[in-house]
Amino acid sequence: MNKAELIDRLAQKTGLSGKDARTAVDGLFDIEPGSGLIPEELAGGGKVTISGFGTFEARTRQARQGRNPRTGEILSIPSSRAPVFKAGKPLKDRLRPA
């Protein structure tokens, strides 16, 4: 499912207009500064927990040594922050085979 399909399904499920559904999805997920609630919270060092669904957070990756696969040269990879999603138990249970 892509973003447009998510918007269409949200509009069908909730009875919202397509424009209102787009506004809701953009309000949660847009990456543009100051527009998406989830990216904004993660960039500020917080986390977003949606009960029964899961938790979004940003984790710091330690600096480490890497290797260029083409030349074999050892590289220094700086520390970085990366977004992480951890599924909640109800979501995990729904995806497990019966």
**Mind listing the pLDDT tens digit of every residue in the chain (98 residues)?**
999 999 999 999 999 999 999 999 999 988 887 778 999 999 999 999 999 999 999 999 999 999 999 999 999 999 999 999 999 999 999 999 87
CB burial of residue 20 (10 Å; 0-12, 13-18, 19+): middle
Decide: 14 and 21 in contact? Cβ < 8 Å: yes
What integer pLDDT is reported at residue 35 of this predicted model? Answer: 76
Can you tell me the distance from the alpha carbon of 47 to that of 55, in angstroms, rounded to the nearest whole number? 7
Can you tell me the distance from the alpha carbon of 96 to that of 15, in angstroms, rounded to the nearest whole number? 30
pTM here?
0.74
At 74 the three-state DSSP class reads strand
What integer pLDDT is reported at residue 46 of this predicted model? Answer: 93
Rounded to 5 degrees, what are φ and ψ at 42? -65, -40
Angle between helices 3-14 and 18-29 (to 10 degrees): 120
